[in-house]
Amino acid sequence: MTLDLNDPELEFSDLVYAYQTWVMAVINDEKLDSEDTLLNDDITEDALNAMRFLPGEVTSAIETCLARVYNVNEDELAQLLFPEE
C-alpha cells in the first residue's frame, strides 16, 4: 500500500494503518527473533507521510499500544523509531 495523499477517498484510518504498519515492522525487525524482514522503503515513506497528518496523541497511542502488545520498552521503541532524536 502506498499512500496517495491526493486521493479524495483517503481516510483517517488509512493514515493510522500506515503508521501502525511501520511501527510493527520496526518492532519485528529490531526486537523479535523473526527471520522475515518487514520494513521497506514504501512502509517507511507511507509512515512519514501519515505522520504529517496524524496528531501526536494518535502516534503516541499507537506506539504505546504496540509496545505493550509486543512487550517492548516504550523508551527503547522510541529510540528505534527515531534514532536521531
Lookup result for grid cell 529510540: 79
Is 13 inside a domain boundary?
no
Tens of pLDDT, residue by residue, the chain (85 residues) = 678 888 889 999 999 999 999 999 999 999 888 888 999 999 999 999 999 999 999 999 999 999 999 999 999 999 999 988 6
Residue 73 located in a structural domain: yes
CB atoms within 10 A of CB 4: 11
pLDDT at position 16: 97
- Residue 85: per-residue pLDDT: 65
Number of domains in the chain: 1
Q: Which domain holds residue 42?
A: 31-85
CA distances from 40 to 47, 61, 64, 69 (A): 11, 23, 22, 22
Q: Is 70 part of any domain?
A: yes
Residue 63: its pLDDT value, please?
A: 97
CB 74 within 8 A of CB 34: no
